[in-house]
Structure 1
Amino acid sequence: MNAKHITRIITTAAGGSLLALASFTAHAADKEQGFYMGADVGRTKQNLSAGAQTSDRNSGSLNLYGGYQIDKHFAVELGYTDLGKAKIGDTSAKTKALNADLLAGTALTPELSVYGRLGAARYDRDFSVGSSDHTMGFKVGAGLEYKLSEQLSLRGEVTRYNNIPTADGQGFGRTANNVSAGLKYRF
């Protein structure tokens, strides 16, 4: 089974799950359930090496997502993340990911909650030398969410992306760490 096939399975399963949950809970009275969307900006740190030279590179990131809150503890989420561009020597690489995640969380106060994330990602990495590569991997994260109102929340998160493609000999690592903050809007 190749990465393209796995990506289609994950995307189809996640989309089908969202539609099934939406139709099943369309008349639910629980205020905790419902669709949401959001955007985060942040910084991505990638480990790079070329010969004896190693360094950590930071770049800007952008994450766009949509999800469904199943109940007060669980949500499913689909998203697109631009992890930014990293450069070592004369070569640079731009990394993007399509994500399907499960979130589990709990409220610490009526306004503040903590959550964890576990998900799958399809990574695309384009190298300045004219090549590109893609893989499937997983990601884990943890975050805080602060309710500003019933519809609008602030969200901050730390996420680890694993199994990112690395072109042999190009010096780009297989992991990236991302710190982000943004807004979430509930419908």
Structure 2
Amino acid sequence: MLHYIEMHHIKLTPLALLTGSLLVTTAFAAPTVDKEGNTGYATAAECDAAVIAGTARFYQPVTQMPTKLQKGEKRVSKGKLSDLGPAYQLGACDLGVGRKNGRNGVSKALQGKYVPFSPDSAVNLYADATGKTVRASMAQCDNRFSGAFPRAVPVPPPAPVAVAPAPAPAPAPVVAAPAPAPAPVVVPAPAPAPVAKKGITPYVFGTLGAVNDSVNYGAPAGLSNVGDSDRQSGGQLGVGLQFNDLLGAELFYQGGKKHEYTAFNGTGYDIGVKALGARLTLGTNVTEKLRLFGKLGAARVTHDLFTGGDESKTRALLGAGLTYSLSENLGVRFDYDHIRRQGSSTNPRWGNIDYFGLGLQYSF
């Protein structure tokens, strides 16, 4: 039984009212706001209170990333935060975290703060081989929560109901046996939704470095024959598509300064070379930020001729590279490409082209 204390004789002075108002106003600090307008609170209690009061601005992702299965996970489906169970009927106030296991968390400004999420927030639901949901992430960007699941906003208990005092017990009351507790109702788990198709990530890149080339040329006069190699500055620009964690494809253009070759009689030649190519990439993440990959493809190589004009040949290409993430979208990139030489029967006979470059890659 609940009994309430009557307060007929308590008077609130203006000083008391002002003091109470200041205490309520300063109870919670203003939330932290990142550049996208998302908010975070210093404590879980502040975040919970804002959600319950209806004043919280729920987190809205701004980037896009495909889903990524982790160890023990067999499939992934789309859903809402409230699909994780009744505990999430008000949403979540989760501790903001940074990048881990190849996936980001929240913006740097909100890391260490408690970030509110709506019960209608779209999430990726990762399941094991039995169909049990074992992890959730933010749907649009696949950003991670602080744990396998976000921290739910506690549902406040119902307000107490005042009841009148019980009457004095009658003499020799008859004590009835308590009614048995109802058996728990088992609600079957919903069938897993269809597996979400992984997205394709486009990117652009540019590098600057050095181009090594060589040539053997038999001139008609004989004395101006050339057998020389040269290194000049060059660069590559390209676009790519990352189909999944392993496989990708790229188109690129390579150019640079003209190579300076000297004939046996001292005659000098300035010979330009450029290449337009396509290649497949196959790689994997060595660490959370470092990725190594190999390259296989072909390039259409165009050389200036010693006698004027130019010629183009399609040649095989092998290579390797690496990227190191600086942020969710931007990374440092290193490239090595080896374009195979032509057959020995040609004149001029161009040698292998080797390119070494360092630059940036931006993923969308």
TM-score, scaled relative to structure 1? 0.75
Q: Which residue of 2 aligns with 1:6?
A: none
Greater displacement, 27-36 / 102-111: 27-36
Residue 34 of structure 1 corresponds to 201
| 1:1-187 correspondence runs (5 A) | 29=67, 33-49=200-216, 54-89=227-262, 90-127=268-305, 129-163=307-341, 169-170=347-348, 173-187=350-364
Contact kept? 1:165, 1:174, Cα under 8 Å: no
Partner AA of 1:45 in structure 2: N
Match of 2:192 in 1: none
Percent sequence identity is 25
Cα offset, 1:129, TM superposition: 3.4
Query: Which secondary structure state, in structure 2, belongs to the residue aligned with residue 35 of structure 1?
Result: strand
TM-superposition CA deviations, 1:43-94 (whole Å, max 9, x none): 0112244678644311111101001000011111111111542121222211
Preserved contact between residue 135 and residue 165 of structure 1 (Cα < 8 Å): no
Amino acid at match of 1:173: W
CA drift at 1:169: 4.8
Using CA pairs below 8 Å that are at least 6 residues apart, which structure has the higher relative contact order? 1
> 1:66–1:158: structure 2 CA closer, same or farther, 3 Å change rule?
same
| Matched position secondary structure for 1:138 | strand
Query: In the superposition, relative to structure 1, how do residues 106 and 183 fare at CA in structure 2: closer, same or farther (>3 Å)?
Result: same
CA distance in 1, matches of 2:342, 2:234: 15
- d(CA) in 2 for partners of 1:96, 1:138: 15
Which amino acid in the other structure matches residue 360 of structure 2?
L
CA 53–123 in structure 1, closer or farther in 2 if over 3 Å, else same: closer
> Structure 2 CA distance, aligned partners of 1:165 and 1:182?
33
> How far is 1:38 from its partner?
0.9
Superposed CA deviations along residues 134-167 of structure 1, whole A, max 9, x for unmatched, are 0111111011210111101111121101246999
The answer to whether the 8 Å contact 1:33/1:72 transfers is: no
- In terms of fraction of residues, the more strand-rich structure is 1
- 8 Å CA contact retained: 1:93, 1:127: yes
Note if contact 2:299-2:316 (Cα within 8 Å) is conserved in structure 1: yes
Q: Secondary structure at the match of 1:109?
A: coil
Q: Which moved more, 1:102-111 or 1:41-50?
A: 41-50
CA RMSD, 1 decimal = 2.8
Distance 1:67 1:38 in 2: 8
Number of aligned residues: 161
> 2:276 is matched by which residue type in structure 1?
L
Asked which structure has the greater CA Rg, the reply is: 2
Residue in 2 aligned with 1:7? none
Unaligned runs of 5+ in 1: 1-25
